[in-house]
Structure 1
Amino acid sequence: MSPTSVSPGSVRSAAEVNERIRALWMRAGGSLSTQERAEYELLVVEWASAIRGEVVKAA
């Protein structure tokens, strides 16, 4: 599965998504292309969703 295609119902942990974000920045060398920026934005949305899910489970 590519990092930009997450099927509905497929849930990665916030830590896993954070690792993908870090890896993207490392591959990009600190400057994102247009395609990488789109991938980054999707990952950030996924990370935020995962964080919310983890907070709800903890409550």
Structure 2
Amino acid sequence: MPPETATGSVRSAELNEQIRALWMRAGGRLDEQQRAEYERLVTAWAAAVRADVAETV
């Protein structure tokens, strides 16, 4: 399912997996570029979680 059409919970799970993979690749230490990617992913994850809450209300 493309990210644009994924429900909040599906999208948040996908983003969570990407965040975990980033940390694994980085060995627990993020460089500047990885930190920017992490911040982008966490921001998108938070939006997806909010969307999921909005869908269930």
The size of the alignment, in residue pairs, is 51
Q: Moved runs in structure 1, 4+ residues, more than 6 A?
A: none
Could you tell me which runs of 5 or more consecutive residues in structure 2 were left unpaired when the two chains were aligned.
Answer: none
Could you tell me which runs of 5 or more consecutive residues in structure 1 were left unpaired when the two chains were aligned.
Answer: 1-8
Which one scores higher on RCO, CA 8 angstroms, separation ≥ 6?
A: 2
* Pairwise CA RMSD: 1.5
Q: TM-score, normalised by structure 1?
A: 0.80
Q: TM-score, normalised by structure 2?
A: 0.83
Question: Displacement of 1:44 after TM fit?
Answer: 0.4
